Structure 1
Amino acid sequence: MKGVFVTGTGTSIGKTVVCGLLAGFLRAQGMRVTTQKWVETGVTDGPSDIDVHRRLMGDPGPASEPSPSDRCPYRFSLPASPHLAAAREGRRVDPIVIEAAYRRLAESHDAVLVEGAGGFLVPLSEELLTGDLVARIGLPVLVVAGNRLGCVNDVLLTVEAVRRRGIPLLGVVFNRLPGEGDGTSAEVQADNPRIVAEITRAPVLGEVPFLSDPARGAEAFEPVGRACLERWRST
């Protein structure tokens, strides 16, 4: 094991919660786990995505916390694609910095879960897409999708982009987190995972149910976590 890249079909579809709960599940299995986010944009004084991961992962025990700059090498205030948010501050996202930070985390942990910013093809710079850096580092990909009307096309496009780069696909996790699927019929929500599995032949590793408080969601997430772990071990 070591690393997995948690991407999504877009922004605000539950990657942060799924990443944090999966890290917590793996930690509960006795693994040394950490999370990473290469670039976070829209940074405010509120909790960062890494803070959310930390809260969902639970007590790390005696293990020391990795350096904040390794867990999130780049943070920008503008809520935009990384290439634009960096340019606004006169900075540039350097893939060498990101890869070095990932390698340091991987050396001291059994598993590193990397949460992407936005979708799989979001530009980190004008020359580099997120998916190309994932391929360069060699991380398998877990796709998170909000189970709502219209998500099938988004999942198919993401899976195709992953496979075109020769990247191992762990599978797809659907979610019904707050705001996901509002107004979508039960028939559509039941069919979305089925048709995605039928067309892509990719493993659908489960669905995260609606969680009013994700911090109390470890038990509800366990079937998804177990499916992800079994798939990861077999890849």
Structure 2
Amino acid sequence: MKGVFVTGTGTGVGKTVVCGLLAGFLRTRGMRVTTQKWVETGGTDGPSDIDVHRRLMGGPGPAPEPPSADRHPYRFSLPASPHLAAAHEGRRVDPAVLEAAYRRLEGTHDAVLVEGAGGFLVPLSEELLTGDLVARIGLPVLVVAANRLGCVNDALLTVEAVRRRGIPLLGLVFNRLPGEGGGTRAEAQADNPRIVAEISRAPVLGEVPPLPDPARGAEAFAPVGRAFLERWRST
């Protein structure tokens, strides 16, 4: 099993950081790893999420750098759902392009981590949800949830959407974002992973602590990486 789809419970939950750190962790295990972002919205001039992945992954790995067109097939300037961002530019997301790019990466790497845009059911087009393309390609899913108020409902809904499509669920990673939490919310944050695991019967692979500089987060991420690798190998 080479591919993993890294989805989130919504936008801004830390998918990019988790995806990049996980790729770096797998690379330190000697794996030929790359990342992919099918659709990125909200900017075409600055660094892409793939650029962030590169920084978090560390130095060059054993496999040659894949073409940029395969790693991020679509980038749109409008910060909106892929279907709307594409339409804003008179374009359309073609699922055949996404799958073909993924298959090329799959053929030259031990692991391909695909970061989704927004949440699991974000529409790629008027006719196709992200989760339906994930099911069509046959990728297992890793769910990233920001550990904050409201995340229990978001996590449970995402797990339910994954399972309804018959997709293997590798587990959940909770992410504590810098500047969030503490104080009166500390008790809820401590309980969120437990209650999600208990209700969903899905494995929680760990929690990423606040990382002021994610590029220095490899050591803090390592327990999550080890839990992921054990789960991935057994699926």
Q: How does 1:1-235 map to 2 (within 5 A)?
A: 1-181=1-181, 185-235=185-235
CA contact (8 A) 2:63 2:109 kept: no
Q: Deviations over 1:153-204 (max 9, x none)?
A: 0000000000000000000000112244366621101110000000000000
Instruction: Give the aligned residue type for 2:133.
Output: L
Q: Secondary structure at the match of 1:185?
A: helix
State the alpha-carbon separation in 2 of the partners of residues 61 and 176 from structure 1.
28
State the alpha-carbon separation in 2 of the partners of residues 166 and 35 from structure 1.
24
TM-score, normalised to structure 1, is 0.98
Instruction: Give the aligned residue type for 2:70.
Output: D
Q: Secondary structure at the match of 1:117?
A: strand
CA contact (8 A) 1:148 1:182 kept: no
Gaps of 5+ in 2: none
CA contact (8 A) 1:9 1:119 kept: yes
State the alpha-carbon separation in 1 of the partners of residues 99 and 183 from structure 2.
41
Cα drift, residue 58 of structure 1: 0.7
Instruction: Give the aligned residue type for 1:63.
Output: A
State the alpha-carbon separation in 1 of the partners of residues 157 and 61 from structure 2.
40
State the alpha-carbon separation in 2 of the partners of residues 101 and 163 from structure 1.
25
CA contact (8 A) 1:7 1:115 kept: yes
State the alpha-carbon separation in 2 of the partners of residues 123 and 178 from structure 1.
29
Cα drift, residue 60 of structure 1: 1.7
RMSD between aligned residues: 1.1
State the alpha-carbon separation in 2 of the partners of residues 10 and 105 from structure 1.
26
CA contact (8 A) 1:193 1:204 kept: yes
Cα drift, residue 83 of structure 1: 0.2
CA contact (8 A) 2:32 2:62 kept: no
State the alpha-carbon separation in 2 of the partners of residues 181 and 62 from structure 1.
39
State the alpha-carbon separation in 2 of the partners of residues 31 and 184 from structure 1.
42
State the alpha-carbon separation in 2 of the partners of residues 137 and 224 from structure 1.
25
137 and 180 in structure 1: CA distance in 2 versus 1, 3 angstrom threshold: farther
Gaps of 5+ in 1: none
State the alpha-carbon separation in 2 of the partners of residues 230 and 84 from structure 1.
38
Q: Secondary structure at the match of 1:47?
A: coil
Question: What is the aligned-residue identity percentage?
Answer: 88
164 and 184 in structure 1: CA distance in 2 versus 1, 3 angstrom threshold: farther
> Which deviates more from structure 2 when the two are superposed, residues 206-215 or residues 36-45?
36-45
State the alpha-carbon separation in 2 of the partners of residues 7 and 61 from structure 1.
24
